[in-house]
Amino acid sequence: MRGKRQEHSPEGLVGIRVSDAAGLQADPTSAPRPARQDAPTTSDRGWAPLLEACLADFNEATEAGDTARISALVKIVAELALIERGAIRPGSRRAQQALRVGRLSLARRLITRHLAKPALSPGMVAEMLGVSVRYLHVLFEATGASFSQTVTAQRLSESRRLLREKPPRPIADIALACGFGSLATFYRIFSASEGLTPGEYRAAGH
């Protein structure tokens, strides 16, 4: 529920200076890539993109007033920062849980960043994330939505947003911008999801 925005700070709540991770990379795709494996490890410089992704999630949760998610993310942000500082061993169970959350958060942001590419695939995201394809699938399976379901859901969400924009864009342009590959594919997937064609959805003023 949106109300008066309550200010939360990972720094104030967990007693660490998250801002000390000043080396956070603006482009997560530029993170160092460890060898892909089933139980991936990350180089010392590789924690920053995971921490940045979780901080971005934290900011979104704060904007939305999602207190349950805020609390969970504060813990993850704190632990990733402690891993980066060497205060928590990367191989520990505590660290592995934080890293799973961080990698999933970054994977979702990589999907969003490359959503317009029809060739977006588990292999592409796994390569950018620096993990094996098998490990990437395990990350998404834990959420109850597979990688492909997550991509489709993001594409549908973006297409709905673009269909509501004024002035209206050509539907073919929207299909291309959302990475559907072809207008026919867009119509098929959108209609199956919404029960309306894209044109009908726009006309209904959703």
In the chain, where the domains are located: 10-143, 158-203
pLDDT of 205 reads 83
Model confidence at 47, in pLDDT bands (50, 70, 90)? confident
* Contact predicate 132/126, CB 8 Å: yes
- Give tens-digit pLDDT for 117-154: 999 999 999 999 999 999 999 999 999 999 999 999 99
Taking the complete model, does pTM exceed 0.85, yes or no? no
Run of H or E residues at 85: helix 67-85
Q: Which two tokens stand for residue 92?
A: 């520990």
C-alpha distance from residue 166 to each of 28, 109, 157, 170, 205 (Å): 31, 26, 17, 11, 11
- Give tens-digit pLDDT for 87-123: 999 889 999 999 999 999 999 999 999 999 999 999 9
pLDDT of 198 reads 97
- Mean pLDDT (the chain, rounded): 82
Model confidence at 33, in pLDDT bands (50, 70, 90)? very low
Asked if residue 32 has pLDDT above 80, the reply is no
Q: Which two tokens stand for residue 111?
A: 């999907």
* Contact predicate 156/145, CB 8 Å: no
pLDDT of 105 reads 96
CA dihedral 21, 64, 15, 95 (to 10 degrees): -60
Average pLDDT, integer, range 64-88: 91
DSSP 44: G
* Contact predicate 202/168, CB 8 Å: yes
pLDDT of 3 reads 45
* Contact predicate 130/145, CB 8 Å: no
CATH architecture group of domain 158-203: Orthogonal Bundle (1.10)
Asked if residue 36 has pLDDT above 90, the reply is no
* Rounded Cα gap, residues 181 and 164, in angstroms: 21
